[in-house]
Structure 1
Amino acid sequence: MKLKFLVVCLLTCIGNVMAQGQMNVSGNPGSVSGKIIDKATKEPVGYASVSIKEGEKVITGAISQENGNFEIKNLELKAYTLEVQFIGYKTFSKAVTLSAGDKSVNVGAIAIEAEATQLEGVEVVAERSNIVQKIDRKVVNVGKDLVASGTTASEILNNVPTVSIDPQTKELSLRGNSNVRVLIDGKPSNVDPAQLLQQIPSSSIKQIELITNPSAKYNPEGMSGIINIILHKNSNNGFNGSINTGVTFGITPKTNSALNLNYKVGKVNFYTNYGFNHGINANHGFVNSSNPGLDNLQNFEFRNLNNSHLVKFGVDYYINERNTLSAYTNQNTTHSDGFGKTAIDYFGLPNNDHLQTYRNENENKNQTYDVVYKHDFEKKGKTLEFQVNYSKTKNSEDTGYNNEDRESDGDLYKESVSRNVVNGLTNYTQVNLDFTNPLTEKTKLELGAETRIQSTKNKFLATESGTQFADPYDYGSDSDYNFKFDRNISAVYANFGTEWSSKWSSQIGLRVEYYDISGDFARNETKFKSDETPTTTVENLKDKVTDNIFTVYPSAFVTYTINEKNSFNFNYSRRVDRPSIGQISPIREWTTPLMESRGNPALVPQFTNSFEVNYTRVTKLGSITSGVFYRSISDEISRVVYNDPNDASNNRKILSFDNFDNNNAYGVETSANLKFTKWWAVNASADAYFKTVRGAVQNVASGELENASVDVTSFNTRLNNTFTATKNLRFQLFGMYRGRDLSLQFERKEMYKMDLGATYNILKGKGTITARYNDVFKNMRFAFDGNIPYRQYGAFYWESQTFYVGLNYNFGGGKNRALQRKQRDANETQGGGGMF
């Protein structure tokens, strides 16, 4: 019924829009056309709002195309005012007169000026973020308001439409699904996304691209699409730079700083970016479990000191007007020292109370090197690009546990000390060749080839010793886990795009991939039993995983432009979610006294057919984009929970993964960029998702695994207001609501918050001071309640209520020449999809 309801709503919307489009055709002979460009860079400005006014009344309008062109038809022959508005730019006005002798007026190139242009050679960060809807993605241009909303990329993304970050696990999800691929400057990373987003300072981010249904030229991994995080990079003449620094005050202070520099002379441009994060994250929570006979209350405390350094250095060499050679490196180091405490209080005399404390040290080092050669042929738009990318990641964890079991009267029952050491090494190489050829003015062919080679090694060592007090048959173990995982992917793709008419355009594509994996998982375990006659048993456990898959991934995009104000986009693609290393590795990911998370080597890939319909409406206030999506999923990968076979009490659980039957998911979303008055502008979004969550849970009575499913409806909304008080002073009011969500075992309660902020320009526009008060009413927390396999409820709390104060300062004397700007200079991925 929900799907039928969505279809009816969409058809009704289409009917209304078609009727409006027909009514707008008045037969008037006048028209106005032109092109919008940036005054400083001379680059086209797409999606700018162009209005035709008579006095103060708006008669009609349009939105500029991605190449900056616009045309407004059906105008009466009279005098008008042409007005151009775009977020982050000054409003442009021009008088236009249509007459019998001049019915069609081309105003030529209209150069609009950024709101802050005192330093022409420095990349200016806008006061507030804006969202641009393009044919295959949403682009979030990060302003100072988002930078002030958090110290890391993880906190910024939590304020971006359709994106959510789990407050506890930091797991990223897009459109309600965690199967999303994260790229940095269009390139993959060996670092786990949850960890990676904690390492990138918010002030280092320039743009965030949300690619929910990528075409065939993109890597097909990630059911819900791709999130590409673009870091700052300047390519202006001379020496230029900017510095962003801020402090977040919560329970403990945290720093977030970034320095951006570039030096361009002649044909060479050097650029660098340095980001630094430092601070303590503290959180706590509880879980109340009504496990029959083992009823207990668990209290948790966690405290982690994190230090992160991110360095990017690159050089562009403009050999001549047709050839460019570029290279860069990212160096990322993160060190974390943590402390945690879990106290389990069992209700009832027969049971024991348990206290576990731990201290750990984690270190992650990631190095990425990238080289690109690009050749522009004489034919406009015809290009050849060759890229080689290599990255190496080393990570280590050293955790010491202290466990105490006590009787209900407080007497010590058992005490043990254990230590876990995990070391990992991943090497990744990617080679791409991409060719683009505009066959005619209305057709374009894209061809590409790609090879990806990944090798991962992990080793897990665990030691445990116990002191027996009451139980003479206590078990301990010395374990040694090793695993090696190799993955090779070779692919070719082709895309063909054409414009049928002024209203219709399309693109079809096909990607062919050969996927080869090999995994060796070895476990050597020594078990011993301490009694009057000790015995020792040695087990050697080995698992091997191999797979060879030849797969095709088609895609199709169709755009229908009814008129200047209304357009539709229909698209389809096939995608895959290959099991990650963490999902197939039998080495534990994390552990508590009652739960351990580990992978399943038997997992197979999950395939998804994804369909979308998007509608964009341009009004005199701005643009509104709405969409409906549907996913058909095969061999869905989901979580399972079962008893630890090595736990005789059946109280300890294993959290893992498994493949399930086919599934469906669908949803609706809408976002808007609106400017109600000269002093009030709004970014708003809302989305609703409908899906069936499947998995396996263990029957508490029988101990057997049983398949289970639950229908989920989730609703989220965000509203970001910007109020311009004076030329230099602006205020922000941000609110968000994340609705309740369901899993197989519990219901996650809703979350909501409100933030207040202000920005003030200083030093004649060279600097900006920003202040922000996050979660004013301290509403944010992760609360849940469930009844499977038995009643459990609880909540986790973190430093959600914080105060941020930051400074942004731009410096340098260089100016931007009219030198052709390569897409790589902007670090954008559009047009270079094969680079993935």
Structure 2
Amino acid sequence: MKTIINITFTCLLVAISWGVSFAQTAKPGTAKVSGSLLNDQGKPMDYASVSLLRAADSTIVKGALSNDNGVYIFDRIPAGKYLIKATVIGYEKAVSKPFNVEESAATVAAPALSMRTASTALTQVNITASKPLIERKIDRTVMNVENSVLAAGNTAMEILAKAPGVTVDKDDNISLKGKQGVTVMINDKLTYLSAAQLATLLKSTDGNTIKSIEIITNPSAKYDAAGNSGIINIKLKKNTQNGTNGSITVGGAKSKYWRDNSSLNINHKEGNLNLFGSLSRGDNKRGHDLGINRIVTDSVGNKTYFNQMSNMPSAYHYNNYRLGADYDLTAKHTIGFVVSGYSNSENDINSTSTVIGKQFGVADSSLRTGSEFHQSYKNFALNLNDRLKIDTSGQELSFDLDYSKFKNNSNSQYNTDYFLPDGSVQHAPQLLRNQTPSNITIYSGKVDYAKPLTKTIKLEAGAKFSSVKTDNDLRAQIFDGSNYVNDTTRSNRFIYSEKIKAGYINLNKQFKKTSVQLGLRAEQTESNGELMGSTPVKRSYLNFFPSVFVNQTLNDKNEISLSYSRRIDRPGYDDLNPFIYYLDPYTFSKGNAFLNPQYTQNFEFNYTYNKTINVSLGYSRTTNAITELILSQGQKTFQTNANLQTQNNYNVNINAPYTITKWWTGNVNVTGFYMGFKSDSLAGFNFNDGQVAAQAKATQTFKFGTYRFEVMGDYQSPLTYGIYKIRPRYSVDMGVSHSFLDKKANVKLACDDIFNIRRNDLSSHVINNNFTIKQRNDTRVLRLTFTYNFGNNKIKAREHRSGADDEKGRVKGSN
């Protein structure tokens, strides 16, 4: 199957230069020539057409494209005298001074080139450089969603669920290749949120603001050590010429309920100043039906049967904003700031009916619980950053300071009526209500330094400090027949603080066809969790996290790599909170203040063919694995988290993009894995279980002129996760888009789960559990989205990674 990169104009020039180079009769050499391109503002020039010319007659020897950092490379160059020529639309042609490649040279650094903005703008040239939806790079898989039909009108969470190897479960927990413990970053910045709060943020992030999703399964020591299954980096759209540009998006959707979304992105550059900002808002209401059948056995063997049905619609309203600026003090020195935040709300009105008896279908009694949750989430975050390019060799120094404040509030009310088998009232109803204000404050600072020691050796080092404090106050009340009074048995306050000091060092060595990177990260953690009236849970521990990466180029089309890293997952802030939250009097959830961090050792082997088809083999072993459990307490059932002894994961992943014709491309991603969990003393039981499972996602893209049509199907086989047996899941999504007004406007029509078959069903029959859960979310959604781009479409805001992102990723509820 022939793989073709469908890029016009710019890549055509590269293809021509390659063709000319192949026509040369000179014997191939062994030297590698590399260099970098900057614009007149000192910014990297990405995707410029670069040619290697013979100095004697300007004959083209080879061609290449510069990457995102403005770097280009020519391999197997024979001895001789050469020039470098670079061209890109909107800039004047740049030609280097002549330089020599000696016979014995292994690597040669070409003279640096600076490209000046063209004095006259080209107005009638259109460049079509459409990246494939799924793209494999050396250390990551990239899902390019910027122009995808399926992205328009979806939230970040819905797009993430379509990414290769990624699954999102019934509670919005994110798994990668079957494993939970994923660290999510936005624009290379850790989110510092808990799993629940991260889910809310992703569900309120407009998909139209996303450029791509990067999946990094084995990160280096430069990244925070959190995330046993790797990092998912969501890259927002960035917008280097003077001027203003932006985009406006409006959309509507219909499932069981109506939804809407709108966003504005704008960028302005004038001289050394670059301003950028975005606003997005939306209303997202969705249904959720939940059915639970469970059998509870008492100490003498008597069984009680519970049949529970819940209707749980949720209504989200979000308002997100982001404003920032970069200022070039010099061509090598840039300072900047980013202010971001949100003001979101969620309203849930749940209705739960429970029938209790000696067998299913025969009622001894029943109850009906109506509950209402009204929640507000507010966040303000500030990032200050400074980046200095010390010299032209690549020596850099950068600083980040971050502050983030979360203020969440939840008001809930539970009204439970009790009935006899004939439907008559058994006794007076139980009326409860809670107020749960929550405040989270995060401070963070980090410094990163990079220096090439030689032409083939590069050193990276850095340090980071973060401080987090959470304050959760549960104010519970019960109705005594005439008034609501304080319920001292449920009211409490939980305060948690955590400080992490970290430092890392990376050393990268380039050989002819081999690159080796060694890294070591150290993190000192001090935490204190205090439930008022109880003994504080204090911890202090120092951990080291080594990493090793080896990449070997076998030939032009075959490449292999080996990697190893050790990682940590600290419990989410809400998982540590021991408060009790009720669904009904027999069903509740609570945190576990005694959760320990889990540690994972990851091993991975990758083989890449022709820079496109990738096969990876992986193994990981996690100790103190943090796992969700459902346990029994008399006739009551509750959900919590606990540490299991070990979790073992074996996986194989195949990603294969392909081109059938110029108008038909596709991608297939298949993951097979085994997950096994073991614990010698789980709630008094010896637990050892696991299962082989598979996931598959296939995407087809068809292009006909200004129309683009996409179909995506995904399948997940039955699998075991901890104590749960999860049923298979599958669905098909479809969409079509049309561009007009000289490609400034675009309208997209798409339908998720077109056959309405996606479900989240599971069961458990271990450690005295005997239950089945059937869930149906509002997944079939018809969406219509309109986008209009205005202004100069070449402006780009500098992408930047702050230092406060891992801690944010452990906060709850930031929708």
Does residue 398 in structure 1 map to residue 411 in structure 2?
yes
Does residue 713 in structure 1 map to residue 692 in structure 2?
yes
**Structure 2 CA distance, aligned partners of 1:740 and 1:761?**
41
After superposition, what is the alpha-carbon deviation per residue over 1:692-719, rounded to whole angstroms, capped at 9, x for unaligned?
A: 1346998xxxxx7323221122211111
Alignment of 1:539-618 (within 5 A): 541-588=533-580, 591-618=583-610
SS at 1:144's partner residue? coil
Match of 1:741 in 2: 719
**Structure 2 CA distance, aligned partners of 1:439 and 1:708?**
52
* 8 Å Cα contact 2:218-2:230 kept in structure 1: yes
**Structure 2 CA distance, aligned partners of 1:74 and 1:680?**
36
Does residue 491 in structure 1 map to residue 496 in structure 2?
no
Q: Could you tell me how far 1:172 is from its partner in structure 2?
A: 1.3
SS at 1:183's partner residue? strand
Moved more, 208-217 or 788-797: 788-797
Moved more, 186-195 or 155-164: 186-195
Alignment of 1:425-824 (within 5 A): 425-465=439-479, 478-500=489-511, 502-522=512-532, 541-588=533-580, 591-618=583-610, 623-644=612-633, 650-694=634-678, 705-726=684-705, 728-788=706-766, 789=768, 791-813=770-792
* 8 Å Cα contact 1:121-1:814 kept in structure 2: no
SS at 1:459's partner residue? strand
Moved more, 148-157 or 246-255: 148-157
* 8 Å Cα contact 2:506-2:519 kept in structure 1: yes
Match of 2:54 in 1: none
Match of 2:18 in 1: none
Q: Could you tell me how far 1:136 is from its partner in structure 2?
A: 2.6
Alignment of 1:66-465 (within 5 A): 69=72, 130-145=133-148, 148=151, 151-166=154-169, 168-191=170-193, 192-234=197-239, 236-291=241-296, 293-348=303-358, 351-414=364-427, 415-465=429-479
Moved more, 445-454 or 28-37: 28-37
* 8 Å Cα contact 2:354-2:368 kept in structure 1: yes
SS at 1:583's partner residue? helix
SS at 2:364's partner residue? coil
In the superposition, relative to structure 1, how do residues 129 and 424 fare at CA in structure 2: closer, same or farther (>3 Å)? farther
**Structure 2 CA distance, aligned partners of 1:833 and 1:520?**
22
Quick one: which amino acid aligns to residue 285 of structure 1? L
Quick one: which amino acid aligns to residue 706 of structure 1? F
In the superposition, relative to structure 1, how do residues 63 and 259 fare at CA in structure 2: closer, same or farther (>3 Å)? closer
Quick one: which amino acid aligns to residue 539 of structure 2? D
Quick one: which amino acid aligns to residue 708 of structure 1? F
In the superposition, relative to structure 1, how do residues 448 and 758 fare at CA in structure 2: closer, same or farther (>3 Å)? same
In the superposition, relative to structure 1, how do residues 129 and 147 fare at CA in structure 2: closer, same or farther (>3 Å)? farther
* 8 Å Cα contact 1:574-1:610 kept in structure 2: yes
In the superposition, relative to structure 1, how do residues 835 and 615 fare at CA in structure 2: closer, same or farther (>3 Å)? farther
In the superposition, relative to structure 1, how do residues 605 and 787 fare at CA in structure 2: closer, same or farther (>3 Å)? closer
**Structure 2 CA distance, aligned partners of 1:508 and 1:731?**
44
Moved more, 131-140 or 330-339: 131-140
Quick one: which amino acid aligns to residue 805 of structure 1? L
Q: Could you tell me how far 1:755 is from its partner in structure 2?
A: 1.7
Quick one: which amino acid aligns to residue 680 of structure 1? W
CA RMSD in angstroms, aligned pairs only: 3.6
**Structure 2 CA distance, aligned partners of 1:407 and 1:418?**
22
SS at 2:373's partner residue? strand
**Structure 1 CA distance, aligned partners of 2:413 and 2:404?**
30
Quick one: which amino acid aligns to residue 756 of structure 1? M
Q: Could you tell me how far 1:684 is from its partner in structure 2?
A: 1.9
Match of 1:471 in 2: none
**Structure 2 CA distance, aligned partners of 1:300 and 1:598?**
20
* 8 Å Cα contact 1:37-1:45 kept in structure 2: no
Match of 2:19 in 1: none
SS at 2:148's partner residue? helix
After superposition, what is the alpha-carbon deviation per residue over 1:791-831, rounded to whole angstroms, capped at 9, x for unaligned?
A: 43342112221211111211014755xxxx8xx7134799x
**Structure 2 CA distance, aligned partners of 1:560 and 1:120?**
44
SS at 1:156's partner residue? helix
* 8 Å Cα contact 1:747-1:784 kept in structure 2: yes
In the superposition, relative to structure 1, how do residues 759 and 128 fare at CA in structure 2: closer, same or farther (>3 Å)? farther
* 8 Å Cα contact 1:640-1:697 kept in structure 2: no
Q: Could you tell me how far 1:401 is from its partner in structure 2?
A: 0.5
Q: Could you tell me how far 1:407 is from its partner in structure 2?
A: 0.6
After superposition, what is the alpha-carbon deviation per residue over 1:440-480, rounded to whole angstroms, capped at 9, x for unaligned?
A: 11110111111111111110111123669xxxxxx976532
**Structure 2 CA distance, aligned partners of 1:751 and 1:460?**
37
Q: Could you tell me how far 1:143 is from its partner in structure 2?
A: 2.6
* 8 Å Cα contact 1:393-1:425 kept in structure 2: yes
SS at 1:203's partner residue? helix
After superposition, what is the alpha-carbon deviation per residue over 1:751-790, rounded to whole angstroms, capped at 9, x for unaligned?
A: 1111221111111111111111222221111123443335
Moved more, 797-806 or 130-139: 130-139
Q: Could you tell me how far 1:612 is from its partner in structure 2?
A: 0.8
Q: Could you tell me how far 1:261 is from its partner in structure 2?
A: 0.2
Moved more, 737-746 or 542-551: 737-746
Quick one: which amino acid aligns to residue 378 of structure 1? D
Higher relative contact order (CA 8 A, sep 6+): 2
**Structure 1 CA distance, aligned partners of 2:765 and 2:775?**
18
* 8 Å Cα contact 1:519-1:544 kept in structure 2: yes
**Structure 2 CA distance, aligned partners of 1:120 and 1:68?**
28
Q: Could you tell me how far 1:335 is from its partner in structure 2?
A: 0.5
SS at 1:194's partner residue? helix
In the superposition, relative to structure 1, how do residues 450 and 436 fare at CA in structure 2: closer, same or farther (>3 Å)? same
Q: Could you tell me how far 1:681 is from its partner in structure 2?
A: 0.7
Runs of at least 5 residues in structure 2 that lack an aligned partner in the other structure: 1-23, 51-61, 79-109, 116-120, 298-302, 810-815
In the superposition, relative to structure 1, how do residues 791 and 432 fare at CA in structure 2: closer, same or farther (>3 Å)? closer
Moved more, 502-511 or 350-359: 350-359
* 8 Å Cα contact 2:255-2:781 kept in structure 1: yes
Moved more, 483-492 or 135-144: 135-144
* 8 Å Cα contact 1:445-1:497 kept in structure 2: yes
* 8 Å Cα contact 1:775-1:802 kept in structure 2: yes
In the superposition, relative to structure 1, how do residues 659 and 286 fare at CA in structure 2: closer, same or farther (>3 Å)? closer
- Structure 1 length normalisation: TM-score? 0.79
SS at 1:276's partner residue? strand
SS at 2:491's partner residue? strand
Runs of at least 5 residues in structure 1 that lack an aligned partner in the other structure: 1-26, 49-59, 76-105, 112-116, 469-474, 523-540, 645-649, 699-703
Q: Could you tell me how far 1:244 is from its partner in structure 2?
A: 2.1
Quick one: which amino acid aligns to residue 581 of structure 1? Y
Amino-acid identity (%): 25
* 8 Å Cα contact 1:302-1:341 kept in structure 2: yes
